[in-house]
Amino acid sequence: MLEVPNINSKDAKLKKLIYDVDDSLFYKDNYSNEEFEHLCVCSGGTTSSCAKNGFTTLDLRKNYNKIHLDRKTNLVTIGGGVIMGDLVNHLQKHNRSFPIGLSKLPGAGYILTGGVSPLSKAYGLAIDNIESIKGFLGNGTFISLKKNQINPEEQLIWEAIKGAAPFFSIITEIELKTIQSNPIKVIEGFVNLNELSEIIKLSEEFPENISLQWIYAQKIYIYIFAELNNLEDKRTEESLMLLDKFPALEKQFHENFNKINFFPKELNLYELNANNHSEVISLLGEDLKNDIPIFIKCLDEIMDNKPNNSCYIASQQLGGKTKKLNHGASFFVHRKSTWKPWIYASWKKNDLQEKEVALEWIYKSWSKLKRFYPNIHLAQLHNHLNSHEEEITLAFGNRMNELKTLKNIFDPQGILPPL
């Protein structure tokens, strides 16, 4: 049994489970080249693609779970199966942190597909903090790349690892920059649609150390997240004072980012039900600006039509450093993005009719939101869904042909997820 947080993957009937990576894994004799079959990779297990019926899963969590912080450089080296919660817990002992996402459950896949955090505006995406990687290309070639020692032949591989790694490589080790732990002020609570509209407008003017996260399930809950580097910071103070007019919002101080639990279960926002399967599609778009009222109306219509109470829409804020860092140097191509909303749909497992209705709701919602968020953040791989090809095209944009070339050269047998 593959014990993972994603219920779809947990329930999959695997053909085989592998814990070790070496080049023998890629020998043709070890790989039955049935049509559309490939290796599923599990680094944390939050994706519905880490295990599938009749497929082989490579589970990195057992043998690639070491964490080592170099106290001189403050660089941390992690295995490809390290869970983000374990990473921040380890760093906390040394007063360091890393911009993980809203959940502590993902593994290295969170980093390699981009990595959007409440800290991203101040420190960039997770991929912007990669210093070196080790692993295997899909043809069995071992790779070891270091940021400042990339030769011209390796440059394209290095850029593609940052955002598109799962399609042509298995990464077993990553070296990352860490950040100083600072106190965090969180302003959170339930709001109505009009208040959400007003808060989104305010947030598009926030400085880099403040970001907005919201979730719309049965009700709307928001988190405004402020890193307090300097308690005398006037702009932070002024920005947060604008939120005093929303009476339902409460202020919480946290010693550091690692201590925060986002969207806790006690809020009863949605049911994390072991009897449900689910899918999620993540979008990307720029500032909403004058479109905020139309977006809010659209959001309301979408939520009016949701098929059950386990479906929701949520959003994270990017910008700041994510717009400035590494232009052209990664396969996260949508650097102008301010928002990463995601659409989550859930249904009773084995209820194919309800599944169809839930997926139809995802696609209709996506279609309505495209005008505001035309691009995709490929945090989940959906090669088992009809939307896969469109998602990939919208995720990699003008770098799609380069990715296809890398796939043909370094994964000629199609062992890793398909394009």
**So what's the pLDDT on residue 36?**
46
- 16-18 vs 56-59, strand pairing mode: parallel
Strand partners, 341: 315
Express each pLDDT in 250-302 by its tens digit: 999 998 888 888 876 666 555 567 788 999 999 999 999 999 999 999 999 99
Q: Which of 2-16, 81-95, 164-178 has the lowest mean pLDDT?
A: 2-16
Q: Which residue has the higher pLDDT, 5 or 268?
A: 5
Q: Which residue has the tokens 């790779």?
A: 143
Helix axes 152-164, 400-410, angle to 10 degrees: 110
Contact 343, 313 (CB under 8 A): yes
The structural domains of the chain, ordered by start, are 7-61 (no CATH), 67-180 (3.30.465.10), 184-397 (3.40.462.20)
Express each pLDDT in 313-368 by its tens digit: 999 999 999 998 766 699 999 999 999 999 999 999 999 999 999 999 999 999 99
**So what's the pLDDT on residue 268?**
58
Express each pLDDT in 185-225 by its tens digit: 999 999 999 999 999 999 999 999 999 999 999 899 999 99
State the pTM of this model: 0.94
Residue 257 structure tokens: 């980012």
- Mean pLDDT, to the nearest integer, of 82-107? 95
- pLDDT at residue 243 above 50? yes
Cα torsion 170, 173, 175, 178 to 10°: value is 100
Amino acid letter, 346: S
Contact 49, 61 (CB under 8 A): no
Express each pLDDT in 102-125 by its tens digit: 999 999 999 999 999 999 999 999
**So what's the pLDDT on residue 260?**
84
Per-residue burial over 312-331, b = 16 or more CB atoms within 10 Å of its CB, e = otherwise: bbbbbbbbbbbbebbeeebb
